[in-house]
Amino acid sequence: MKIIDGKSVSEHLLADISLKLQSQKKNRSPHLAIIMVGKHPASETYVNAKIKTCEKYGFKGTLYHFPETITEKKLLDEIQKLNDYHEVDGIIVQLPLPKHISENQVIETISPQKDVDGFHPVNIGKMAKNLPALLPATPGGILELLKFYQIETAGKHCVVIGRSNIVGFPMSILMGRNSYPGNCTVTMCHSKTQNLEFYTQNADIIIAAAGQPELIKGNMVKEGVVVIDVGIHRVPDKTKKSGFKLIGDVEFDTVAPKSSFITPVPGGVGPMTIAVLLKNTFETWLQSNK
Ligand code: NDP
């Protein structure tokens, strides 16, 4: 069994981007604009981590923080301003948004050329057609992990658990594309799937993104399976100074001994998400001629 070390792969990827960045003769750094609405302690933590990573690797990261009461129209106008601002290369909106603001409207207002989260229908469409596109960060990060560890995917049965717009759905498309990583026979499971273990027991690769703590147990997988655990859950743990620990959608202790490769939580998929966000921002910056 081999642990997939997302922390070290993400550092490797970011160091490589940073080197390429230094070799470019441009008069400004890649610039990521992060929009946040209202107060959410978890979102603030994620946003701070993104800005810190930007700074560490020579990017500029700016937080545009709006009050909970901002109208949808005003928010869309602000996004339009960032679309038009030539010194911004990437725009992301930290979810969730307040209920009075349509997530779809917001995503569709971001210019597809600056949509470094890869959520715009234009980028999703290009991804589905296997055209060059900005890939959603978490699925993009999983592809980077599979590549880094040279994990064979062609002809394998890949079971993706979850069909959300940000993880499960794009992941199932990517694993079925005619490319590497890809060329899998893909089964996409969701909350209405009956007899989940029938699918997982027949999987060569499992990508678990159900948002259910330790849903996948050792008796649900076969020997030699590759396991990518996307889930992140905080559970109380008196033995930790913080009072909690992080677990995934996979019961690590029972699944790991049967796996050929497995991502831990934390330190697996999580660090890759930020790395791909910066990779996407670097790519849009390279395309911009200003
Ligand atoms: P969502 O809640 O949006 O989607 C969960 C999906 O899982 C849904 O499609 C749902 O089905 C399906 N599902 C729920 N329960 C079951 C079940 N018992 N069996 C099979 N399928 C089930 O979650 P996200 O995709 O946003 O995130 C998934 C997990 O990944 C979360 O723990 C999240 O915190 C984590 N995450 C981690 C990231 C990282 O960087 N590491 C980034 C993004 C997310 P249905 O469609 O029928 O409701």
What pLDDT does 17 receive?
A: 97
d(CA 191, CA 161): 9
Task: Let me know how many helices (H) and strands (E) the chain has, helices first.
Answer: 10, 11
Cα dihedral across residues 96, 174, 2, 149: positive or negative: negative
Residue 46 structure tokens: 């994620």
Q: Distances in Å between the alpha carbon of 147 and those of 150, 152, 170, 232, 234?
A: 5, 9, 17, 23, 29
CA 168 to centroid of ligand 1, rounded, Å: 7
pLDDT for 92 equals 98
Residue identifier of the C-alpha nearest atom 23 of ligand 1: 211
pLDDT tens-digit readout, 179-236:
999 999 999 999 999 999 999 999 999 999 999 999 999 999 999 999 999 999 999 9
Q: Is the peptide bond before 181 cis (omega within 30 degrees of 0)?
A: yes
pTM to 2 decimal places: 0.96
Query: Is 25 an annotated catalytic residue?
Result: no
User: Distance, CA 95 to ligand 1 centroid (Å)?
Assistant: 14
Q: Show the tokens assigned to 289.
A: 């001629």
- Considering 94, 114, 115, 279, which one is annotated as catalytic? 94
Helix axes 121-128, 168-176, angle to 10 degrees: 30
C-alpha of residue 222 to centroid of ligand 1, in Å = 22
Ligand 1 residue neighbourhood (C-beta within 6 Å): 138, 161-164, 166-168, 189-193, 196, 209-212, 215, 230-232, 269-270, 273
Q: Report residue 78 as tokens.
A: 């602000």
- Contact call for residues 280 and 137 (beta carbons, < 8 A): yes
Q: Point out the ligand 1 atom lying closest to the alpha carbon of residue 233.
A: 32
pLDDT of residue 290: 57
Closest residue CA from atom 21 of ligand 1: 190
pLDDT at 289: 65
Among protein residues, the one with the nearest Cα to ligand 1's atom 8 is: 162
Q: What structural domains and CATH numbers belong to the chain?
A: 28-111 (3.40.50.10860), 137-270 (3.40.50.720)
pLDDT tens for each residue of the chain, 290 residues long: 999 999 999 999 999 999 999 998 888 999 999 999 999 888 898 899 999 999 999 999 999 999 999 999 999 999 999 999 999 999 999 999 999 999 999 999 999 999 999 999 999 999 999 999 999 999 999 999 999 999 999 999 999 999 999 999 999 999 999 999 999 999 999 999 999 999 999 999 999 999 999 999 999 999 999 999 999 999 999 999 989 999 999 999 999 999 999 999 999 999 999 999 999 999 999 998 65
Cβ–Cβ under 8 Å, residues 61 and 54? yes
Residue 225, Cα to own-chain centre: how many angstroms? 22
Q: Is 50 a catalytic residue?
A: yes
Residue among 40, 43, 164 to mutate when testing ligand 1 (max atoms within 8 A of CB): 164
